Amino acid sequence: MSRQNYLVSKSIDVRGVSCPVNAVRAKQAIAALSDDELIEVIVDAGESLIRVVRSINDAGFKIITSHPLENAVAIVVSRVNTAGRPQ
């Protein structure tokens, strides 16, 4: 079984944007989505990725999948968290 692909309608690139502005911009873009839309957030690997993912989780948005890029990661996110985050 291989990882699924998703149809993404929007994209935001926050590479090179320092914390916490990268997370703020990503969250603003996610918040502007409609319920059935997915956005791709491209963020630098390392500490930026950790901060942005934590921020997206805390805001209650849902990370669907991700793809590693060179020194960066593309995260696919939906605004609505239908599945919820078990914890």
Partner 1 sequence: MSNSNPELAALGKVGMMRQTQPDYYVMRLKAVGGDLSSGQLARIAEVAERYGRGGVHLSTRQGVEIHYVRSQDLEPARIALAEAGVEMGACGPRVRSIVACPGSETCRLGVIDTKPIARELDARYFKQEMPSKFKLAVTGCSSNCTKANENDIGVRGAIEPLWEPASCTDCGLCVSFCPVSAIGRRDGEGSGGEFRYESDEESCINCSVCSSLCPSGAWVVGRKGYTVLIGGTMGRIPRFASVLKRIVESDEELYALIEASIRCYREHGLKKERFGHMIDRIGLENIKEEIIEQAELPRVEKY
The number of residues that bind partner 1 (CB under 8 A) is 24
CA dihedral 69, 42, 2, 85 (to 10 degrees): 140
User: 20 preceded by cis ω (within 30°)?
Assistant: yes
Q: Does 18 bind partner 1 (CB under 8 A)?
A: no
Assess 82 for contact with partner 1 (CB under 8 A): no
φ, ψ of residue 32 to 5 degrees: the values are -85, 0
12 binds partner 1 (CB under 8 A): no
85 makes contact with partner 1 (CB under 8 A): yes
Residues in region 22-81 near partner 1 by CB under 8 A: 45-46, 49-50, 53-54, 57, 62-68, 73, 75
CA distance 46 to 36: 30
Shortest Cβ distance from residue 36 to partner 1 (Å)?
18
Maximum pairwise Cα distance, the chain: 37
Q: How far is CA 33 from the centre of its chain?
A: 12
- Minimum distance from CB of 63 to partner 1 (Å)? 4
Q: State the residues that interact with partner 1 by CB under 8 A.
A: 1-4, 45-46, 49-50, 53-54, 57, 62-68, 73, 75, 83, 85-87
